[in-house]
Structures are given as C-alpha cells and as structure tokens.
Chains A and B, each alone.
Chain A
Amino acid sequence: MFRSGWQPALLLAPALLLLALLTLYPIAYSFVLAFTDAEYQSDALTFVGWANFNTLLNDWFFQQATWNTVRFTVSASVVQVGLGLVLALLFARPFPGRQWFLPLFIYPMMLSTLVCASIWKAWMHYDFGWLNNLFDAVGLSRQPWLSDPALALWSIVLVDTWQWTPMAFLILLAGLQGIPQDIEEAATLEGATPWQQFWHIRLPLLRPYLFLALLLRSIDTFKLFDKVYVLTGGGPAFATETLSLMAYKQGFKFFNLGAASAIAVIMLAIALVLSLAYAWQVMRRPS
C-alpha cells in the first residue's frame, strides 16, 4: 500500500470520467426522455408525465415482450446451469484426454452471437435444416422450429443454451475444484454412496456457485437481442419479441424515443436489482 494525496485520484480519474460519460449521463438522460414525447431528430422536449409508462403497461405488445423476456430468462438460465452442472461433475475428476476435451465444451461462448445464430438458423430450417434431417433419420417428424409461435421461443432457448452453457460450466467447475479432496475421501471411507456424496456434500458446498451462475446467466439472458434479431426478428406473431428488441424498434424504427426510453428505464430497474444482487455476492468476499 502506498499513500499519496493526488496520485490515486489522478490514476482513477480517466476511467471514472469515461464511465460516467458513457453510463451515468445516458441513464439520467433516459430518465428525462421517458417522461417526454421526444422524437428522433428534434431536440424540443414536451413533458408528458407518466403517459409513456401508462401506455406501455396497458399495451399488449409490451406485456407480450415482458412475458417472453421473463420466460426466456428463467428457462435459459435454469437449463444452462443444470447442463453446466452435469458437465462440471463429469470434468471434476481427472480422466485421460481431459485437457483435450475441455476446450471443445467451452469454445461456443467465445464465438460471435451472430455466428451461433447463423449456424442454428440453418440447422432449424424446416426443409433442409440439419436438425430436421436428423429427426427424419431417426423417425421423428420435422419440427417448425422457428416458425411455430408455440415453439420459437424454446428454439431460441436451445441456441442460447448451446452458446452459454460453457459459462455456467466454468463457474461450477471452479466451485467443484475448490472442494477440499479430504472431505470427499472421508465421506467415501464412511461408506457414503456417490449419490449421497453428491446430495450431502457437493451440492451444499456448491450452493454459492450455483447462485452465482444463475445470477450471471439471468443478467445476460435478460438482455437478449442479437439472437432474436437474426433468428426470428421477434416473430412469428411477436412470440419471440423481447424487451431489448421492442426498445430497439420503438427507438430506432418508429422514432418514438419517449416510449423507447420508458422501456429502457423499466429494464434498467430490473437489471439493477439483478446486478446489485451479483455485486453483493462478489464484493462481500474479502479479497
């Protein structure tokens, strides 16, 4: 530790100023715009009170987008953490070739979302998609993955699971490897079956990591934009419209900045709750 009056402030200032310019100012600006009828190229603002929020809350499209976002966030996070747990358990112990297999389960999270979405858009094509070809080959019927309103959202959950399970896997693997070996050895000596070990030793010790993984995946899935943009554009029949996509369309297609900002403010409130929970989880640990 060094002590010196102005030096630390000077080192921190550029990053702090840029962060403030790029986030605090925009957020304050969104709050103002959310209470106006602002439009695209004009800078004149008329305050309309809560009108934007009232309209939104009674708007079927907004309700649909919220419902879709909630369903997507919850189901994608849970599926990814579940699958990540299975992978982490498989990789927790050494086996031949482990270091060669590991990258094969991790690389999807580093691919561009646009690339993932492109691959799966092709795989989910009704007529020649690989997935339907596979279904044909094993005697199942072809599925309208992205064109059936009842199925499209779950297809996007599948694509997100493919791309982001690796993240849950890595968090849970770090957690499993942090469990002291002697606890497990002692349990084995005491005659605990593998199943008992999992339920009574590993799972309780993993709980904070499961929480962390769920939280991180929820924060991320809540933003869903790119995948929907490429895979369905929000359709069919608004079945995959998300809050991000709706804010984008209101702001940058219909030039309705007031409504777009109101959606942004609502999203911000939800994201803030999630990220404060995350910050609390991460920062309470002594470092």
Chain B
Amino acid sequence: MTQALRYSVMIVLLLFFTLPTLWMLGTAFKPAGEYVGTGLSLLPHAPTLEHFISLWQQGVGQRLVNTLVVALGTTTLSLTLAFLAAYALVRFRFPAQLDRIFLLLVLVVKMLPPIVVAIPMYRILRSLNGLDSFPGLMLSYQVYTLPFCIWMLLGFVRQIPVDLEEAATLEGAGLLRRLTRVVLPLAAPGLVATLIFAMLLAWNEFLFALLFIQTPSNFTLPLFIATFATENQTYWGELIAIGVISSLPVLLLAGYLQRHLLRGFAMQSH
C-alpha cells in the first residue's frame, strides 16, 4: 500500500470508530433543542447539565451503587474460585485427562448463549429466593465471569516460576502457605487485570438483569439505560447522558485495558 492510501484508510476508520463516542460526549451536554437539529456539530453551543441533573433526580446514584455492588460481589466470588482452580490446573497432574475435560467445560460455558440457561436459572433463583436480589444476580453472573476468570488467570499462573514454590516446600510450607505467601503476591498483577475485566463484564451485563431484577430501585445501569429507550418513547437527553456516565470507567482505563487485551490475545493465539 502506498503511504497516501494507508493514511486515508486510517483516517476514515479512525473517524468511524471515534466519531460516535465523541458525538455522545458532546451531545450529553446539549440542551433539548440542540440535539434534535439537522446539523453535524459534535460540540454543544450552549452547554448544559440538565440531563445529568434529571438523571440524578431519577436516582442514577442508587443505580451506580447497585451496579458497583453487583460487579464487586460477582467478581470477588469468581476470582476466588478461579484462582484456586487455575492454580490446581497449572501445578497438578490430574488422572484420566480430567483437567482437559474441565477446561473443555469452561470453554463451552464461555461460549454458551446465555438465553439457553435463562429459564432454568429463573427457577433455580426462585427456589433459592434469589429473584430480584443482588446475591441472586451475582450467582447468575458466574455463568459469564467464572469461565472468563479461569481462562484469563490460567495464563498468568502459568508464568509464575515453580522454583520459588519448591524452595518454600523444602522449608516445610504447606499448600495454603505456598498459595498465600508465594503464589498470590506473584499473581497480583494478573489478578488485578482479571478483576478489572470481570467487573467490566458484570458492569455491562443486560440479559440476566432484565430477567431477574424487577424492582426499579434494584436496577443496574444497563437496565436503567433501557428505561430511557422504551417502545413508546425515547428520552434522548437522558439516554445519551447516562451513556457517558456508564462509559466513564472504560474511557478512563482505555490505555490500561488495551495493553492487557493485546497481551491476552497474543497469549491466547500462540
């Protein structure tokens, strides 16, 4: 490809991938009369906070807290179980290829369309009194986050050299001591990265929240977003403003996330 062609393709694609988000960031601050216009301007002429104020009055704070609680709870459970499982898979030999069968199960679950388990999940949650509750939602989210965490941590735990652990064993350290004193500190950066991506999964999840949460005050952000784009009416100002609010974590962390994604895909594909 010639240089000129390379750069023009790059610029067109750059516009395609960035303009919609830039538009969102600008439009969230446009007054009602401005965003229904026929112009192409991305920036507001008369910036206003009215949509954010309206969102605040409608309880966006509560929904932010809900989403954070659910994401943290979901991730804590997943990360704990996944860390133990990943460690076992890396450090021990299993009879009859049980480890490979387990990994296959993890992969298949990771690929499963969530609607497939939705109806039985509804019944499980109902029998556990977990409908319309955060613990119930956290439990259902394990379908997404647990396979994801196992898979991602597997890569990190594999890179921890076994010598340190062997030295600890010679000094008489048992499994628990090795895990907490040797493996955990070395796996910390990997755990943090996995934590962030798993929280993102829970932060953005929509289907199970839609099915299992009914009370508006229990809504997570994605559910709350959907209430501004109903079949009958769309509240554009609020819809765009809440888009900004719920994207802030991603936009702020974009650089960090991208480095880990690059690494993750390089590890996964080689």
Contact = CB atoms under 8 A, between A and B. Distances in A.
**Do A and B interact with each other, yes or no?**
yes
Interface of A: 1-4, 7-8, 11-12, 14-16, 18-19, 21-23, 25-27, 29-30, 33, 83, 86-87, 89-90, 101-108, 110-115, 117-123, 127-128, 130, 133-134, 136-137, 162, 165-166, 170-171, 173-175, 177-178, 194, 209, 212, 219, 222-223, 225-226, 229-230, 233, 244, 247-248, 251-252, 257, 260-261, 264-265, 267-268, 271-272, 274-276, 278-279, 282-283, 285, 287
B119 A30 contact: yes
A275 B200 CA distance: 23
B254 A103 contact: yes
Q: Do most interface residues of chain A lie in helix, strand or loop, or is the interface mixed?
A: helix
B27 to A, nearest CB: 8
* Interface range for B: 35 or more
Interface string B109-134: 11111111111111110000000000
- 7 closest A-B pairs by beta carbon, nearest first, are A275-B111, A26-B120, A8-B92, A11-B88, A29-B120, A15-B85, A112-B204
28 contacts: A15-B150, A16-B102, A19-B109, A26-B120, A26-B121, A30-B119, A33-B119, A90-B10, A102-B258, A104-B14, A105-B13, A106-B258, A112-B204, A113-B206, A114-B221, A118-B229, A121-B229, A122-B35, A128-B36, A173-B262, A174-B266, A177-B266, A225-B114, A230-B229, A244-B113, A265-B116, A272-B108, A275-B111
Contacts of A29: 119-120, 123
Contact of B240 (A122, A260, A272): A122
By CB atoms of chain B within 10 A, which of A11, A275, A276 has the most? A11
Interface in B138-155: 139-140, 142-143, 146-147, 150
A264 B116 contact: yes
Nearest to B81: A15
B100 interface: yes
Interface of B: 1, 6, 9-10, 13-14, 16-18, 20-21, 23-24, 27, 35-40, 81-82, 84-85, 87-89, 91-94, 100, 102-124, 139-140, 142-143, 146-147, 150, 158, 162, 165, 169, 175, 200, 203-204, 206-207, 210-211, 221-222, 225-226, 228-229, 231, 234, 236, 239-240, 243, 246-247, 250-251, 254-255, 257-258, 261-262, 265-266, 268-270
